[in-house]
Amino acid sequence: MNTSIFEVHLFLWIMLKYTPQQLQKLEAILSQSDYVVRYEKGNFQSGWCVLEAKKVVVLNKFLDVEGKIVTLQDLIPQINIQYDKLTIESQRLFDKITSSNKLEALNTEETKIDTV
C-alpha cells in the first residue's frame, strides 16, 4: 500500500473536521492528561513547543484553526497521554489520531524502501 501524505491528510480532514469544536476536543485530550495548552507568540520552528516537566504545550497563537488542529494532531501522539484518564469520546479521538499517524509513518517507511 503506497499512500501519499496528501491522502493521509485527506483522510484526517474527513475524519477530523477543522472546526473550533474539533480544536476543543483535541485540547481536551491534553487537559485530561493534565497538560495546559497555551497560545503564545514566539519563534517556534514547528509551531509548538512542549515543556514536559511542567506539562505545558505552547502553540503559535498566529496559527489559524486548521493549523492548530494539524499541529495538535501531529503533537499528541508524541507526548505522554494518560489514556486511562481520557473520557470515552477523547479515547476514540486519540485512537483515530494515533492510528492515522501510524499509517503515515508506515507509508513513509514504504517510500524509503521503494527508493532503495
pLDDT one-digit tens code per residue, 82-113? 999 999 999 999 999 988 765 554 444 444 44
Average pLDDT taken over every residue of the chain? 79
The yes-or-no verdict on residue 38 having pLDDT over 90 is yes
| CA nearest to 79, candidates 36, 116, 19, 109 | 36
pLDDT of residue 111: 43
**pLDDT-based confidence at residue 6 (cuts at 50, 70, 90):** low
Is-above-0.75 flag for pTM?
A: no
Q: What is the C-alpha separation between 27 and 38, in angstroms, rounded?
A: 10
Query: All 3 cell numbers of residue 89?
Result: 469520546
Instruction: Please choose, from the candidates 10, 11, 37, the residue with its C-alpha nearest in 3D space to the C-alpha of residue 25.
Output: 37
Residue 101: predicted pLDDT:
62
d(CA 63, CA 19): 13
- pLDDT surpasses 60 at 78: yes
**Residue extents of the structural domains in the chain:** 18-96
Residues 6+ apart with CB under 8 A from 65: 18, 19, 20, 23
- Give per-residue pLDDT as tens, 43-63: 776 667 888 789 999 998 888
More confident: 39 or 112: 39
